[in-house]
């Protein structure tokens, strides 16, 4: 392999592009969806119930309510927690915009909290500083698949009399001190987008041990109606009373059939993700020009993402150039995430730069490397070779 970077005209490490993530599909997934298509129910039917029960059993929660997307799950969870106009909800700065958008949907105000410099998970101390008498809920995001500090955040939420909503879109199957994510916070949301651990095409779900919250979640996903069609059909009711302003956030049996089939491979996928992550950590940990986010003791990281931090003082270029160089080598590196309040929508609403300095400093250095169960050892070799090639070239 020549030292010339592909971005400068040299041959790339790979002939074909390797994405940062890719869904997996097996023949049994196809057959599960076909069976649902041939059944009497295309939506709100037995596959939805079966999927909810499977996730509830997996995480050890009393209730699971499936919805149409991870964003819908966040919206529903915030509603179930009683968030409304005039309220505030603390949200990590380092997350996808949906974590904060769901707060805005209900007329409340996101209050952004900074992250820890080591793990990039939200800093409980900074959350505590930003909680006010108007705070209604705290959102904790399990960044990249590593559970947040749920003990401290849970204690803070209980002390202030607010709900803890865990955004576990990255963390299906993760564990926190021996407990599965999904039965720790007051409400936990999951995503079943194609690049997540289990794919439903699109889909989301909320778990909770609170029966009243579960009722609110089920109403919210179905226009605010007290009952769903199966209940009305069985009881002979001709209509259901609408008691909340809900949404059509229902998920189909087709999506749940796909997700149920994929659930059978969740553990194998988690193990493969961990194998890749451990190889990355072993070989990148001592590489000049990189720092790896810390992994806490006592957690099982779900490794949805593999983020790294560039040591820019040891490189002659910025993150943008390194990213472009890796992509030219056909390594589909990307970035997770820009601080939410840097988006124009939030900037226009008065959120200033400098609000969460650790999140902003991390953003300038962040890269996400490819990681998904379908990667072979040759793919991992290519990622490592490309990272080494680019960093050596741009070293000061």
- Helix (H) or strand (E) holding 98, with range, is helix 98-105
- Helix (H) or strand (E) holding 89, with range, is strand 88-92
Whether residue 337 is preceded by a cis peptide bond, meaning omega within 30 degrees of 0, is yes
Rounded-to-10 torsion of CA 166, 172, 176, 177: 150
Structural contact between residues 384 and 283, judged by C-beta atoms closer than 8 angstroms = yes
Q: How far is CA 183 from CA 141, 210, 279, in A?
A: 15, 10, 30
DSSP letters, 187-256, are: EEEEE--TTSSS--SS-EEEEES-HHHHHHHHHHTBTTBSS-HHHHHHHT-S---B-S---B---BHHHH
Q: Which two tokens stand for residue 25?
A: 């599909």
Active site residues: 196
The residues, ordered by sequence, that sit 6+ positions from 135 with a Cβ below 8 Å of its Cβ are 87, 88, 89, 90, 111, 160, 162
Q: Is 135 strand, coil or helix? A: strand
- Of 205, 305, 259, 276, give the one whose Cα is nearest residue 26: 259
The C-alpha angle 220, 174, 205, rounded to 5 degrees, equals 15
């Amino acid at each position: 392999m020549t030292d010339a970077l592909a971005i400068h005209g040299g041959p790339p490490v790979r002939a074909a592009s390797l994405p940062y993530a890719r869904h997996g599909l097996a023949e049994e997934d196809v057959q599960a969806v076909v069976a649902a298509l041939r059944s009497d129910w295309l939506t709100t039917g037995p596959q939805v119930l079966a999927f909810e029960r499977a996730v509830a059993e997996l995480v050890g929660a009393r209730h699971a309510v499936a919805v149409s997307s991870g964003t819908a799950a966040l919206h529903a969870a915030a509603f179930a927690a009683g968030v409304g106009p005039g309220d505030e909800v603390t949200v990590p700065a380092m997350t996808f915009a949906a974590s904060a958008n769901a707060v805005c949907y209900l007329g409340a105000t996101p209050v952004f909290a900074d992250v820890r410099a080591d793990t990039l998970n939200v800093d409980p101390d900074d959350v505590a500083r930003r909680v006010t008498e108007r705070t209604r809920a705290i959102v904790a995001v399990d960044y990249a698949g590593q559970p947040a500090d749920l003990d401290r955040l849970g204690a803070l939420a209980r002390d202030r009399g607010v709900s803890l909503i865990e955004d576990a879109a990255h963390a299906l199957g993760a564990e926190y001190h021996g407990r599965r994510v999904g039965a720790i916070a007051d409400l936990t949301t999951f995503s079943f987008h194609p690049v997540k651990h289990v794919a439903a095409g699109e889909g989301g779900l909320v778990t909770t041990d609170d029966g009243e919250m579960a009722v609110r979640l089920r109403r919210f996903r179905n226009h605010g109606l007290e009952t769903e069609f199966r209940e009305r059909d069985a009881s002979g009711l001709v209509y259901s009373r609408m008691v909340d302003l809900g949404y059509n956030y229902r998920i189909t049996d087709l999506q749940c059939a796909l997700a149920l089939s994929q659930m059978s491979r969740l553990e194998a996928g988690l193990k493969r993700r961990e194998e890749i992550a451990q190889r990355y950590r072993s070989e990148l940990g001592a590489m000049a020009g990189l720092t790896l986010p810390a992994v806490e003791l006592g957690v099982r990281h779900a490794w949805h993402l593999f983020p790294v931090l560039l040591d820019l003082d040891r490189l002659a270029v910025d993150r943008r150039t390194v990213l472009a160089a890796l992509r030219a080598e056909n390594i589909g590196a990307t970035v997770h995430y820009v601080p939410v309040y840097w988006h124009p929508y939030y900037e226009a609403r008065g959120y200033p730069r400098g609000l969460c300095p650790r999140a902003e400093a991390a953003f300038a250095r962040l890269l996400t490397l490819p990681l998904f169960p379908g990667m072979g050892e040759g793919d991992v070799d290519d990622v490592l070779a490309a990272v080494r090639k680019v960093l050596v070239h741009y070293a000061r």
